[in-house]
Amino acid sequence: MTPLRIGSIEAASPVVLAPMAGITNRAFRHLAREYGGGLYVCEMITTRALVERNAETMRLITFDPDESPRSVQLYGVDPKTVGEAVRMIVAENLADHIDLNFGCPVPKVTRKGGGSALPWKKDLFTSIVRTAVACAEDLPVTIKMRKGIDDDHLTYEWAGKTARDAGVSAVALHGRTAAQHYSGQADWSAIARLREQLLDIPVLGNGDIWSAEDAIRMVRETGVDGVVVGRGCLGRPWLFHDLQQAFEAYAADPSRPSVDYQPAQPSLREVGDALVRHARLLGEFFDDEQHACRDIRKHVAWYFKGYPVGGELRHRMALVESFAELEDLVGQLDPTVGYPGADVEGPRGRAGTPKQPHLPDGWLDSDHLNERQAELLREAELSVSGG
Ligand SMILES: Cc1cc2nc3c(=O)[nH]c(=O)nc-3n(C[C@H](O)[C@H](O)[C@H](O)COP(=O)(O)O)c2cc1C
């Protein structure tokens, strides 16, 4: 398999770290990049907060000096603000790639018409994508979307073609509708359909890749040019090692039914050490040890999923207050415990049940915005948190 080319940028592996709000910050990307090549997308940045130079947002859009390409995901609902944000990124040389988020299923966002509700409004979607591409000059712009609102209101085929015609450099599809949230299984056949229809640009597949084998299987089954990996790498940044190795083996002999590579199989202590390292990188990112400790707490269960760690130790790690305390707790992990195998593998992170999407009144009645909906959309960028 050839490297992933998105416009002028290239990633050594056809692997994209899915943007995840609250997760894929500079610290997590640093850790993940140590394990393998790919395109590592930052957590979502709201365009309004960026143009207003919100202090927290300006932190989110920072990269390590050696991070290349620098990939930003923008979330915006207003073409004018999206354009301003993209122009700012270009003028101030803040990134090398811009992804646009059209997949967020969070009710407080879709209720106002944003995220995964937005591609339903053809005029607005077209205008946002065209504006972003026009303002990006030479920077490649991509979109990331879901299949649609629900099975009766699918948008991905139309949105993919429209984005391609507007000049995007790649399209990523998460094979779920907004109504599915993170439940059930991602529909890879929709990804294959999109791949067939957009022959002239890269199509990236997303949803339910839990191992390097899954990634290769997605490529084989759908023909995608690259895979986008989200929850599978939570607490498992070494998955990027597996992905790189597996894609190299696959490239060497695509006809072999199974890929020959050596997966990372960290011992319990190695996992503990990675957790501490992650916490320290968060400390540098936030420039605040306490903030880093609060943030690392949510990662504890992911790192130790499937490993035998006593409830008391887990509990204390999930309340950690300082790096010294975390190191002390990690020092108490049993040094004789190796890789537990299957218990570590398979699904992790959010799952849940399908939910009737919350949409503005009358949203599905027309594929064009009315005045009232346009007014509501102005609030759709406030307090957004990914998805
Ligand atoms: C905690 C979390 C935060 C997320 N934040 C974003 C986001 O900011 N932007 C986005 O496009 N998708 C976001 N997503 C969705 C993922 O990028 C990805 O599409 C989804 O998890 C499906 O891929 P997976 O099965 O590999 O996890 C988020 C997912 C999770 C679990």
Name the residue among 44, 157, 14 with its Cα closest to residue 104.
44
Residue-wise pLDDT for 167-180, tens only, equals: 999 999 999 999 99
pLDDT at residue 198 greater than cutoff 60: yes
pLDDT at residue 264 greater than cutoff 80: yes
Place of tokens 């990996």: 229
Catalytic sites, residue numbers = 104
- Whether 71 is in the pocket of ligand 1, judged by its Cβ within 6 Å, is no
Residue-wise pLDDT for 225-234, tens only, equals: 999 999 999 9
| Mean pLDDT score, 184-213 | 97
Contact 246, 261 (CB under 8 A): yes
Residue-wise pLDDT for 305-357, tens only, equals: 999 999 999 999 999 999 999 999 999 999 999 999 999 999 999 888 998 99
Name the region of 228 (left: φ>0; alpha: ψ -120 to 50; beta: rest): beta
DSSP codes of every residue in 215-266: HHHHHHHH--SEEEE-GGGTT-TTHHHHHHHHHHHHHH-TTSSS--------
Residue 1, pLDDT score:
61
- Whether 44 is in the pocket of ligand 1, judged by its Cβ within 6 Å, is yes
Place of tokens 């999109």: 194
Residue 51, pLDDT score:
97
Ligand 1 centroid to Cα of residue 231, in Å, is 7
| Mean pLDDT score, 243-250 | 96
Q: How confident is the model at residue 383 (pLDDT cuts 50, 70, 90)?
A: low
Residue-wise pLDDT for 113-137, tens only, equals: 989 999 999 999 999 999 999 999 9
pLDDT at residue 386 greater than cutoff 50: no
Q: Where are the domains of the chain?
A: 4-263+352-379, 268-338
Q: Which CATH superfamily is domain 4-263+352-379 in?
A: Aldolase class I (3.20.20.70)
Q: What's the rounded Cα separation, in Å, for the pair 22 and 66?
A: 22
Q: Which of 32-41, 108-117, 269-278, 308-317 has the lowest mean pLDDT?
A: 108-117
- Whether 115 is in the pocket of ligand 1, judged by its Cβ within 6 Å, is no
Ligand 1 centroid to Cα of residue 324, in Å, is 31
- Whether 23 is in the pocket of ligand 1, judged by its Cβ within 6 Å, is yes
Q: What's the rounded Cα separation, in Å, for the pair 95 and 29?
A: 15
- Whether 233 is in the pocket of ligand 1, judged by its Cβ within 6 Å, is no
Mutate to test the pocket of ligand 1, among 15, 16, 17, 20 (most ligand atoms within 8 A of CB): 20
pLDDT at residue 385 greater than cutoff 60: no
| Mean pLDDT score, 362-385 | 83
Average pLDDT, the chain: 95
Higher pLDDT, 112 or 329: 329
Q: Is 107 helix (H, G, I), strand (E, B) or coil?
A: helix
Residue 387, pLDDT score:
41
- Whether 144 is in the pocket of ligand 1, judged by its Cβ within 6 Å, is yes
Residue 242, pLDDT score:
98
Ligand 1 centroid to Cα of residue 117, in Å, is 16
**Beta-strand relationship, 170-177 and 203-206:** parallel
Ligand 1 centroid to Cα of residue 230, in Å, is 6
